[in-house]
Amino acid sequence: MEQATLAMSHHLTPRCPRDSHVMRYEPRGIRYRSSTGQLQTLPSYHCPYMGCSVRYDPANGYFTVINEPDLPYFVDEPATNLLRCPRHGTWLYTEAKSKTDPMVLKCGVDGCTYARSSRSGS
């Protein structure tokens, strides 16, 4: 997985691509020891729905973590990381304020206001 070089906003409301629940920010995120033995931390958003393992951060987009004995294994969520922010090159997340609102794709970099309708041609 890539390490984010741009600060991720802690006030996003990404929707889980599997069950549409609003994901929650976890500052400690994923913790593991690198191959050199250094403790690594990857802050991310995590789906709170029972048993869901989907995560999001701007550098890596939507992904799932499979716990391996020594290092976690990161797998991209199928058909979710499709567009990048033209300003930062980071993956956009899906947001909807309610179930009736259209989905909007937004940049997760702190302070970025880039947004795009998920409807094609918009």
* pLDDT (tens place) for every residue of the chain, 122 residues total: 444 457 899 999 999 999 989 999 999 888 888 778 888 888 999 999 998 999 999 999 999 988 765 678 889 999 999 999 999 999 999 997 666 667 899 999 999 999 998 664 44
Domain membership of residue 30 (yes or no) is: yes
Contact status, residue 79 vs residue 94, Cβ threshold 8 Å: no
User: How many domains does the chain fold into?
Assistant: 1
Domain membership of residue 16 (yes or no) is: no
Give the structural domain span for 62.
Answer: 24-117
Domain membership of residue 52 (yes or no) is: yes
- Residue 72 pairs in a beta bridge with none
Contact status, residue 60 vs residue 23, Cβ threshold 8 Å: no
Structure tokens at 68: 């391996």
